[in-house]
Chain A
Amino acid sequence: MSERNVQDFINDLVKGNKVVLFMKGNKFFPACGFSARAVQILSHMGTEFETFDVLSDGEVRQGIKEYASWPTIPQLYINGEFVGGSDIMMEMFENGELKTVLAESAS
């Protein structure tokens, strides 16, 4: 895939899913503590979400960092918008913002 196509591929995933998490590993076998925490938070919210395993695709692993100008993984997108990494997810979970954003995405 060329650089351009990777960004298109990511954009399709982000825009085509209400809630999508770019992570290392998958829901059942997270391959990193930060990704595991992100999955735990979303699972706890009882929300449906898609995941993409960046370890399965080196170009997406690199491309997603450029897509959101965000250097770390996991990355959460809701309704086509970048929400944050696992630290921000944790803060938004604790202060109730995540629930609000997810409720808005469902309507």
Chain B
Amino acid sequence: MMEPEAIVELIETALPDCRATVVDDAGDKAHFRAEVVSSAFEGISLVKQHQLVYKALGNHMVSDIHALALKTYTPSGWASARETT
């Protein structure tokens, strides 16, 4: 079990100029949905972007967090995603 705020804290601490939103969708503090914006994602593949987030969460990913639906954005990608929706 983990608080969404604790996940936000871990991600935002590990990644530069990062804004993370984490939602506890199921209300069970184990299945989460996250949107992460960071300049660290510039110019790297989606796999590498997700790996950075997983790395920030470290062991929590195999213990407290059962599922994490993840969306990553660069700052410019985030801006254009907002415009189109």
Contacts and interface: CB of A to CB of B under 8 A. Distances in A.
Contacts of B46: 84, 88, 91-92
Chain A interface, DSSP helix/strand/loop, else mixed: mixed
Nearest to A84: B47
Interface residues of A, number: 14
Given A70-B54, A71-B54, A72-B61, A82 B67 contact: no
B61 A71 contact: yes
Interface in A55-98: 65, 69-72, 82-85, 87-88, 91-92
Interface residues of B, number: 12
Interface string B43-84: 000110011001000000110000111110000000000000
Given A70-B54, A72-B67, A84-B47, 20 more contacts: A34-B69, A65-B62, A69-B51, A70-B47, A70-B50, A70-B51, A71-B54, A71-B61, A72-B61, A72-B68, A82-B47, A83-B47, A84-B46, A85-B50, A87-B70, A87-B71, A88-B46, A88-B47, A91-B46, A92-B46
